[in-house]
């Protein structure tokens, strides 16, 4: 049985084969990736987060490209059902990430293309900035290296973007409103800066045939104290919840 690790990636799109010579480890034509992804209203990349399950068939802690093995592959779902495919080529590109608030993060980013043409940017353990807030755009400006035999499993992380399930009430300037009724421009109440306008809204339908790490967490009515929450609340697995009640203090160990 292969070793499996969940990676978080940003889906960049489907492109013609970039590895035009299967006799080498080099991605010969990376030109399609040297552009900006996510540009334009409603196209923010936060909606392109894709969790990929790696299958390391030869137990070497890496998913090798199709040049080297037939036992390693990846599995993911873009919304039309699970896809199982091998990695065809890998490239490290230099680029700039632009977040929702206009701030930027410049670095080298790992990318790969699967045999079916799908291309992804991976979220590295060493780049927690990529999970700090929603990403609007990624602009790749230069090729750093393309001579790779595969992707190491332990360099990836399972960062996810914080989200709410339909029906969740969000505090707004006009009172609580369902998340699915909000629109860009509406003002929501933030912890640090009071009412702030919504700059982008994205949504994605997920299906879970079996329990998995990406399923929403259901907080039952009253689970956090009397009337907290008043109705069942569904949140993404990595969503933080701030409690300032006496029970919350009782759960905190000041000595660490």
Q: Is the pLDDT of residue 67 over 60?
A: no
* Interval 227-251 mean pLDDT: 69
Q: 128 with 174, same domain? A: no
Q: 146 with 190, same domain? A: no
Q: 150 with 173, same domain? A: no
Tell me if 144 is assigned to some domain.
yes
Q: Which domain holds residue 178?
A: 169-251
* Interval 8-12 mean pLDDT: 88
Q: Is the pLDDT of residue 235 over 60?
A: yes
* Interval 172-185 mean pLDDT: 83
Q: 89 with 147, same domain? A: yes
* Residue range 192-233, pLDDT digits in tens: 778 888 876 766 666 666 666 667 788 888 888 888 888 888
Mean pLDDT of the chain: 77
For residue 93, give the nearest of 31, 19, 182 by alpha carbon. Answer: 31
Tell me if 163 is assigned to some domain.
no
pLDDT at residue 34, rounded to an integer = 95
pLDDT at residue 32, rounded to an integer = 93
Based on the structure, what is the number of domains in the chain?
2
The top-scoring range by mean pLDDT among 21-25, 58-62, 74-78, 221-225 is: 74-78
Q: 200 with 242, same domain? A: yes
Place of tokens 């992380």: 157
pLDDT at residue 41, rounded to an integer = 53
pLDDT at residue 139, rounded to an integer = 95
* Interval 163-177 mean pLDDT: 80
pLDDT at residue 159, rounded to an integer = 46
* Residue range 19-38, pLDDT digits in tens: 877 777 677 889 999 999 98
């Amino acid at each position: 049985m292969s070793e499996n690790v969940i990676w978080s990636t940003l889906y960049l799109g489907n492109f013609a084969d970039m590895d035009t010579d299967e006799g080498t480890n080099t991605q010969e034509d990376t030109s399609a990736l040297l552009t900006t992804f996510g540009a334009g209203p409603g196209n923010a990349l936060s909606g392109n987060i894709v969790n990929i399950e790696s299958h390391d068939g030869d137990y070497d802690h890496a998913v090798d490209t199709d040049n080297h093995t037939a036992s390693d592959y990846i599995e993911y779902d873009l919304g039309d059902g699970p896809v199982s495919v091998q990695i065809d080529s890998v490239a490290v590109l230099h680029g700039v990430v632009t977040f929702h608030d206009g701030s930027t993060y410049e670095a080298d980013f790992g990318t790969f293309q699967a045999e079916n043409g799908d291309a992804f940017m991976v979220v590295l353990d060493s780049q927690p900035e990529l999970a700090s807030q929603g990403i609007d755009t990624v602009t790749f400006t230069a090729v750093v290296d393309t001579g790779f035999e595969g992707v190491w499993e332990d360099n990836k992380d399972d960062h996810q973007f914080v989200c709410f399930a339909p029906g969740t009430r969000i505090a707004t300037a006009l009172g609580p409103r369902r998340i699915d009724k909000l629109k860009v421009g509406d003002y929501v109440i933030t912890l640090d800066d009071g009412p702030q306008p919504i700059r982008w809204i994205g949504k994605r339908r997920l299906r879970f045939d079996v329990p998995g790490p990406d399923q929403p967490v259901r907080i039952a009515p009253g689970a956090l104290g009397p009337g907290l929450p008043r109705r069942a609340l569904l949140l993404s697995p990595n969503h933080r919840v701030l409690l300032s009640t006496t029970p919350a203090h009782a759960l905190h160990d000041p000595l660490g």
